[in-house]
Amino acid sequence: MDRQKFAFGKTNFVLLAVGMAVVIVGFLLMAGPSSTPTHFEPDIFSVRRIKVAPLVCLLGFVFMIYAVVKKPKDSNPESLTKE
């Protein structure tokens, strides 16, 4: 296949993978024990689950948006004008 047909470069895919990994880490930080009808678990209101994990997820999503918007570097700028 012709490499000029791809919308993303290798760097974009690597950045997307890193962003997805950060989002997954954020969701893992949110995980933990839950309350049951007979037992209240105060850990559901911990700083890690309420503030840190959503911030990590947000940063991961912002990083993924950056990876999509970033233009791949082209070694031959004239190839962009050819059709």
At 32-55, the pLDDT tens digits run: 888 888 998 888 889 999 999 999
**Does 16 map to a domain?**
no
**Does 59 map to a domain?**
yes
**Does 14 map to a domain?**
no
**Does 56 map to a domain?**
yes
- Tokens, residue 11: 């760097």
**Does 77 map to a domain?**
no
**Does 11 map to a domain?**
no
Expressed as residue numbers, the domain containing 51 is 22-71
The pTM of the full predicted model, rounded to 2 decimals, is: 0.76
- Provide the number of structural domains found in the chain: 1
Q: What is the pLDDT of residue 48?
A: 93
**Does 12 map to a domain?**
no
Encode pLDDT of 2-15 as tens digits. 556 777 889 999 99
Exposed / middle / buried, residue 19 (Cβ in 10 Å: 0-12, 13-18, 19+): buried
**Is 19's pLDDT higher than 80?**
yes
